[in-house]
Amino acid sequence: MKVLVINAGSSSLKYQLLNMETEAVMVNGIVERIGEEVGSLTYKANPDTDAEKKIVKKEPIADHKVGMHMVLDLITGEEAGVISDPKEIDAIGHRVVQGGEAFTSACIVDDSVKAAIADNNPLAPLHNPANLMGIDVAEELFPGTPNVAVFDTEFHSSMPEKAFLYALPYDLYKELRIRRYGFHGTSHKYVSRKVAECMGKKPEEINVVTVHLGNGCSMAAVEKGKCVDTSMGMTPLAGVMMGTRSGDIDPAIVAYIAENKNMSVAEVDTLLNKQSGLKGICQLNDMRDIHAAVDEGNEKAKLAVDMFAYRVKKTIGAYAAVLGNVDAIVFTAGIGENDDIARAEICQNLSGLGIEMDMDKNAGRKGEPHAVHTDASKVQVWVIPTNEELQIAQEAVELLK
């Protein structure tokens, strides 16, 4: 089976074509700046192999349909095509951010599914409408090919009420659907299963704390294969500290800033999402730049790393309490996979919880799953590259079987 995975944003469209017999990536790339004066398209056939062919185009790309059409022409084209007919694609998997309470698993898209996704638009106004647009374009360009929606919230739908409810008037949960949903679910699901495989266990046999540290950061407590708590909330602003997002703060701070800085609630919301986190502390939001600044003696940069690591460490402790017994901790995503300095700082002084990192094994980047704990560590610590596209494609294959 060949599965095309699409992640449509408001002005971008990421895509990946996978051969599910081998799980090899046939094509990947991104269409960006859709609707702007000059758009850009990046296309890679057979990426990361000797046969890699890369094409970059810079031209106006009016809308998502035009962008997808350009991609399809390349996929089936002479220059760097990998198939001859769009009908060779057996399914299209779509990343949809907010499934709300309507979706607890992936599903084949029909009109009622699209209506239910649209019903969740108020909960994810920047994402769900764009995801729906991706589905509409796929339906138009690949008539007859099944579309599968895979939700970012789905893996977290197993959380018990005591974990997902906020201590607000209960009616607000029913009236406005205010609750913790959690995000990055596809990544947490993928790495929690992959670590079980690496340990020679079934997901149902182990408890795992998954630590997804990228531009957005989130953590999950996974008990016997099921998520029982996660750090992001009703929106992806909550939880640990992120590149530009504050993570958890005292909620009274919102009104305090609004009043004292004469800002609207929307402006404070932007401040918390775009001007806070690592950037808020040291003006930089990419960990690579922050480490370089630390090396040059920048104290704010050092403080930002310390705050970042401290919050992740605290949440590991919280989830150890939630799970009772932890078999493994998994680091993933841009920072989790690549940043040995942040990982070391997070795992420092956790031997009381049975977590002991081997600093030699932790050093450097490997690009593949590897263990970084000492032989004596009760809890295993792993670094596992996430693969949300493969997880989405696997779910599409499962559903269509």
Which of these is catalytic: 48, 85, 152, 306?
152
- In DSSP terms, 366 is beta-bridged to none
Pairwise CA distance, residues 300 & 288, whole Å? 15
334: contact with ligand AMP by CB under 6 A: yes
- From the list 24-32, 40-48, 258-266, 333-341, the region that binds ligand AMP by CB under 6 A is 333-341
Catalytic (active site) residue 152? yes
- Please select the residue that binds ligand AMP; options are 12, 215, 275, 283, rule is CB under 6 A: 215
Classify residue 149 by its DSSP letter.
E
Output 251 or 364, the one with its CB closest to ligand AMP: 364
Residue 25 phi, psi (nearest 5) = -85, 120
41: contact with ligand AMP by CB under 6 A: no
Output 19 or 298, the one with its CB closest to ligand AMP: 298
288: contact with ligand AMP by CB under 6 A: yes
Interacting residues with ligand AMP between 224 and 283 (CB under 6 A):
243
320: contact with ligand AMP by CB under 6 A: no
Pairwise CA distance, residues 358 & 396, whole Å? 38
- 192 SS3 class: helix
Residue 115 phi, psi (nearest 5) = -65, -40
Pairwise CA distance, residues 97 & 127, whole Å? 6
Interacting residues with ligand AMP between 53 and 112 (CB under 6 A):
none
Report how far apart, in Å, the C-alpha atoms of 308 and of each of 189, 285, 292 are: 23, 11, 16
Residue 335 phi, psi (nearest 5) = -80, -45
Say which amino acid occupies 12: S
Say which amino acid occupies 194: K
- From the list 125-133, 177-185, 314-322, 334-342, the region that binds ligand AMP by CB under 6 A is 334-342
- From the list 4-12, 30-38, 124-132, 328-336, the region that binds ligand AMP by CB under 6 A is 328-336
286: contact with ligand AMP by CB under 6 A: yes
- Which positions lie near ligand AMP, rule CB under 6 A? 214-215, 243, 286-288, 333-335, 338-339
Q: Which positions are catalytic?
A: 152
